Amino acid sequence: MSVQIFGDQVTEERAENARMSAFVGAIAVGDLVKTTLGPKGMDKLLQSASSDRSLVTNDGATILKSIPLDNPAAKVLVNISKVQDDEVGDGTTSVTVLSAELLREAEKLIEQSKIHPQTIIEGYRIASHAALKALESVAVDNKDDKAKFRNDLIHIAKTTLSSKILSQDKEQFAELATNAILRLNGSTNLDHIQIIKILGGKLSDSFLDEGFILEKKFGNNQPKRIENAKILIANTTLDTDKVKIFGTKFKVDSTSKLAQLEKAEREKMKAKIEKIAKYNINVFINRQLIYDYPEQLLTDHGINSIEHADFEGVERLALATGGEVVSTFDNPEKCKLGECESIEEIMIGEGTYTKFNGCKAGAACTIILRGATDQLLDEAERSLHDALSVLSQTTKETRTVLGGGCAEMLMSKAVDTAAQNVDGKKSLAVESFARALRQLPTILADNAGYDSSELVSKLRSSIYNGISTAGLDLNQGIIGDMSELGIIESYKLKRAVVSSASEAAEVLLRVDNIIRAKPRTANRQQM
Per annotation, catalytic residue among 90, 152, 239, 386: 386
Determine whether 59 is an active site residue: yes
Asked whether the beta carbons of 173 and 166 are under 8 A apart, the reply is: yes
| Of 340, 361, 367, nearest in space to 179 by CA | 367
Q: Active-site residue among 35, 36, 57, 59?
A: 59
Backbone phi and psi for residue 438, each to the nearest 5 degrees, phi listed first: -70, -15
Identify whether 423 is a catalytic site residue: no
Task: Check if 11-141+401-516 and 212-363 are the same fold.
Answer: no
Q: CA-to-CA distance for 92 and 109, rounded, in angstroms?
A: 26
The helix (H) or strand (E) run that includes residue 423 is: none
Residue 307 DSSP code: -
* Cα 417 from Cα 144, distance rounded (Å): 33
Q: What are phi and psi of 130, to 5 degrees?
A: -65, -40
Q: What is the second-level CATH architecture of the domain 11-141+401-516?
A: Orthogonal Bundle (1.10)
C-alpha–C-alpha distance, residues 16 and 19, integer Å = 5
Which candidate in 35, 57, 92, 469 is catalytic? Answer: 92
Q: Where are the domains of the chain?
A: 11-141+401-516, 212-363
Closest CA to 404 of 476, 488, 493, 500: 488
Separation of alpha carbons 462 and 456, rounded Å: 10
What is the value of pTM for the model shown?
0.82
- One digit per residue, the tens of pLDDT, for the chain of length 527 reads 455 666 666 666 666 777 777 788 888 888 989 999 888 888 888 888 777 788 888 888 888 888 888 888 888 888 988 888 888 888 889 999 999 999 999 989 988 888 888 999 999 999 999 999 999 999 988 888 888 889 989 999 998 888 888 888 888 999 989 988 888 877 777 878 888 888 888 888 888 888 788 888 888 888 888 888 888 888 888 776 555 545 566 677 777 777 777 787 778 888 888 888 888 888 888 888 888 888 888 888 888 888 887 777 778 888 888 888 888 888 777 788 888 888 888 888 778 888 888 887 667 788 889 888 888 898 899 889 889 999 998 888 889 999 888 999 999 999 999 999 888 889 999 999 999 999 999 999 998 888 989 999 999 999 989 888 999 998 888 899 988 888 999 999 999 999 999 999 998 888 877 677 766 665 655 54
CA distance 513 to 340: 61
Q: Are 351 and 338 in contact (CB under 8 A)?
A: no
Is the domain defined by 212-363 classed in CATH 3.50.7.10? yes
Q: Which of 36, 93, 160, 442 is catalytic?
A: 93
386: annotated active-site residue: yes
Name 373's bridge partners: none
The residue type found at 164 is K
Question: How many Å apart are CA 204 and CA 245, to the nearest integer?
Answer: 49
Provide the pLDDT for residue 1: 45
Helix (H, G, I), strand (E, B) or coil at 477: coil
